[in-house]
Structure 1
């Protein structure tokens, strides 16, 4: 009998790819999301492809009582939860001046409080057993905010703060529950078609773009290895480090390029519905409409997966270079 994983936001996008990845490794998978039909279809497809037990639990992660009830249902049907992955998110493409208080609150409740509720529900099950792993899915935008996504960026930054506090508390209490965070780059998911958009032009991820399977593999890796945090893609690494070095310079750069980098020249169709307050029906999967440019791998993740070997090779290379320089110096004297 395989281990049990709970994935929120599992009916499409990164969550859908993540559920598939865990199933591929023999996990029994509980899928949480708002849209019942798409969620059940995803659960059925994963069961058919991998033969593992799956459970679709329609859940609005913004509602703490629903998340707690989902955790109870999962354990009643599949068994003790070993891994909980918080993926669900919602965003709005609009400048702050065009946002309503209701939109700000809803986006924050889904993206930030949705992960908080997931952590609390997971801990309620894992703490008594003194085992388990919680994976929070963050973003490069949680470190370096961009224009037009203030709600999402603010929520992702808040998740980092909550996660770090909880991690210290787990250490203080001597618990063996692991907490890790995976920070993602731009991912090719349906969110750029169904997120609430007030800009009049279709949204797009900021290049470079990665396929959701890259994110899913990183999430599985974080869940099964002892890593405090995993940064996916060199674009994520560069955004985080550059913001530490020259944040004011990035402010001005994004003021010039942050709008055009997130919008296409295609007009937004009249009557396009966003998924902020209600799920958008349809047979969406893991991928969005950017397959032609999305990358299948992240070389940065290869170094993270095999970091001991990477640093050993780097040390050998450095030693070889130093020896070569010393030999050259000796030959010249």
Structure 2
């Protein structure tokens, strides 16, 4: 499918998966509307998108918890580019801590951004898409939308809600006989973004990216692919796919596996961390970035090299066994 004429709105485009996704659509020659709280970071994203031939950008600073601001975002996209073909709900925040230790104002804010922000985005997007008769709404959820974690209770709750939102919207469009509008949910595993550094943290321990870590570009490619070939849900990352499968066949086992993995590898055993609200209430200043310094792209390359080496070794061994078994050949 040719995407060059598509208009794409991306929330949370100031960094991480959102910025990588915006750049991926810009690479396709799309008109990309960039939304987040940080105008400085959005301008940096726009500069990167502008490097691609045919790409057009529009920066609209937006707090997705404000329904009127999100409606304004949709209007600006239509006024500037004539419509909205793709809307990517991606803006999200996180708060780590024991259930009793996360301040209620942080707990509530995570749910407001991650759930109501997506509700506002979906309402604005679907209004335009219904008028057009076509469009794709993509919600970026998480593997924790299927298997929750200790220490990130509001985030896990919010991502389960995102799964439910996508499912219920698909059902509504189905019973109404709507054919041209698709609702897709993306469930990334651990991704190399600034998400973990920017999270609120009340654990007393430094939050680190839980391995295996994948690149945000991998998620962006999955999002672009969904526009061409819509699917209900897509899990990004082999480890994530394995865990989601396990959650469906052996949910109690999956819960225990995730609990152990989180305790051992998601919170540092060596580095302490002061209590912080992170970017939950106020965005981090600066131009933002796609990557968080966790080596997602490098680690993916290393895993692929290891698999290739193992397959090559197995092929050589199989060849030797075959040779020994057929001396007359």
Q: Same fold (TM over 0.5)?
A: yes
Contact residue 182 and residue 222 of structure 1 kept, 8 A: no
Aligned to 2:317: none
Report the alpha carbon displacement of residue 257 of structure 1 after superposing the two structures with TM.
Answer: 3.6
1:294 CA displacement:
3.7
Is 1:81 the counterpart of 2:84 in the alignment? Answer: yes
Aligned residue in 2 for 1:178: 182
The answer on 1:251 being equivalent to 2:249 is: no
Rounded Cα–Cα distance in structure 2 between residues aligned with 1:204 and 1:97: 21
Hey, what does 2:300 align to over in structure 1?
A: 295
Secondary structure of the 2:156 match is: helix
1:55 is matched with which residue?
Answer: 58
TM-score, normalising length: structure 2: 0.86
Q: Give the Cα–Cα distance (whole angstroms) in 1 for the partners of residues 302 and 281 of structure 2.
A: 33
Further displaced range: 242-251 or 58-67: 242-251
Residues 45, 80 of structure 1: CA spacing in aligned structure 2 closer, same or farther, 3 A cutoff?
A: same
Cα deviation digits, residues 173-203 of structure 1 (max 9, x gap): 2221111111111100001111111123321
The within-5 A match list for 1:35-54 is: 35-54=38-57
Deviations along 1:163-182, whole A, 9 cap, x unmatched? 11111111122221111111
Q: In the alignment, which of 120, 134, 137 is matched to residue 137 of structure 2?
A: 134
Equivalent residue in structure 1 for 2:194, among 190, 196, 205: 190
Change in CA separation of 1:296 and 1:55 when aligned onto 2, cut-off 3 Å: farther
Task: Normalising by structure 1, report the TM-score.
Answer: 0.85
The secondary structure found in structure 1 opposite 2:171 is: helix
**Length, aligned pairs only:** 299
Q: Find the counterpart in structure 2 of residue 96 from structure 1.
A: 99
Q: Any conservation in 2 of the 1:210–1:296 contact (CA below 8 Å)?
A: no
**2:148–2:258 CA contact under 8 A, matched in 1:** no
1:72 aligns with 2:54: no
| Segment of structure 1 superposing worse, 191-200 or 145-154 | 191-200
Change (3 A) 1:194 1:241: same
In the alignment, structure 1 segments of 5+ residues that lack a partner are 300-333
1:210 aligns to what SS in structure 2? coil
Preserved contact between residue 33 and residue 77 of structure 2 (Cα < 8 Å): yes
Q: 1:252 to 1:174 in 2, by over 3 A?
A: closer
Alignment of 1:145-156 (within 5 A): 145-156=148-159
Tell me the secondary structure at the aligned position of residue 209 of structure 1.
coil
- How far residue 126 of structure 1 moved from its aligned partner, in angstroms, is 0.7
Alignment of 1:165 onto 2:168:
yes
What is the deviation of 1:259?
Answer: 1.8
1:250 deviates by 3.2
Superposition deviation, residue 51 in structure 1: 4.4
Q: Which residue of 2 aligns with 1:2?
A: 5
Partner secondary structure for residue 179 of structure 1: strand
Match of 2:223 in 1: 219
Stretches of structure 2 that go unaligned for 5 or more consecutive residues are 305-329
- Tell me which residue corresponds to 2:147: 144
Return the alpha-carbon distance in structure 2 between the equivalents of residues 255 and 225 of structure 1.
Answer: 34
What is the CA distance between 1:269 and its match in structure 2? 5.8
Matched, 1:280 2:270: no
Separation in 2 of the partners of 1:14 and 1:111?
A: 15
Q: Distance in 2 between matches of 1:236 and 1:255?
A: 15
Asked if the contact 1:133/1:179 (under 8 Å) is kept, the reply is yes
Give the Å deviation of 1:260.
2.3
